[in-house]
């Protein structure tokens, strides 16, 4: 099986629990994870944890990935939504049949890119469900997969979200092995 690759985009003010949980669990599953900042600066997350991205988004855009993951948090999700490169990449990945995934407030970025149209999705209460999206079914569930789109509710669902990402990319057996080694 080809090694799967995931791009995790880190914006200033992202939710560090969501970012680090996804990065950590995907790497435990032997998935290649590349973290990219919107610029060359360290990312100061919402709880003031400093994260050092592997590369910049401009550099990451030079290659392809099987999946993109957007951590939420505020103003992290707003910073992602305000970056035309992020919106363009989401649209391209969706068009190319790649996975677009977001947690917490970040599903609003998928909505702004038009990716949630006709889909079931979830997000942090008061974010996605408050947008005027008549063609999106907001579920409020912990994790929702609808086709090539995976969304999750928030920091408390980050581990479940990451496990679904693993299962989606590399199968149930690997997901179960990673989960077992976490002593859940």
138/1 Cα distance (integer angstroms): 34
Nearest one of 134, 157, 138, 127 to 22, comparing CA atoms: 157
Catalytic (active-site) positions? 104
CB atoms near residue 25 (< 10 Å):
22
* DSSP per-residue codes, 110-153: HHHTTTTTT-EE--STTTGGGS--TTSEE---SEEEETTEEEE-
Nearest one of 10, 157, 150 to 70, comparing CA atoms: 10
C-alpha Rg value of the chain to the nearest Å: 15
DSSP at 156: G
């Amino acid at each position: 099986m080809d090694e799967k690759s995931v791009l995790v985009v880190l914006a200033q003010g992202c939710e560090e629990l969501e970012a680090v949980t996804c990065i950590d669990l995907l790497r435990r599953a032997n998935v290649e994870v590349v973290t990219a900042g919107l610029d060359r600066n360290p990312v100061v997350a919402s709880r003031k944890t400093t994260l050092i991205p592997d590369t910049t988004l401009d550099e990451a855009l030079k290659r392809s990935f099987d999946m993109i993951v957007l951590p939420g948090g505020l103003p992290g999700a707003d910073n992602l939504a305000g970056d035309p490169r992020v919106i363009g990449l989401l649209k391209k990945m969706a068009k190319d049949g790649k996975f677009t995934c977001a947690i917490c407030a970040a599903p609003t970025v998928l909505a702004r890119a038009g990716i949630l149209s006709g889909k079931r999705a979830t997000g942090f209460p008061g974010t996605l469900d408050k947008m005027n999206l008549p063609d999106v079914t907001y579920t409020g569930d912990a994790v929702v997969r609808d086709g090539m789109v995976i969304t999750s509710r928030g920091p408390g669902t980050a581990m479940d979200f990451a496990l679904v990402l693993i299962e989606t990319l590399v199968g149930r057996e690997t997901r179960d092995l990673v989960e077992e080694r976490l002593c859940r």
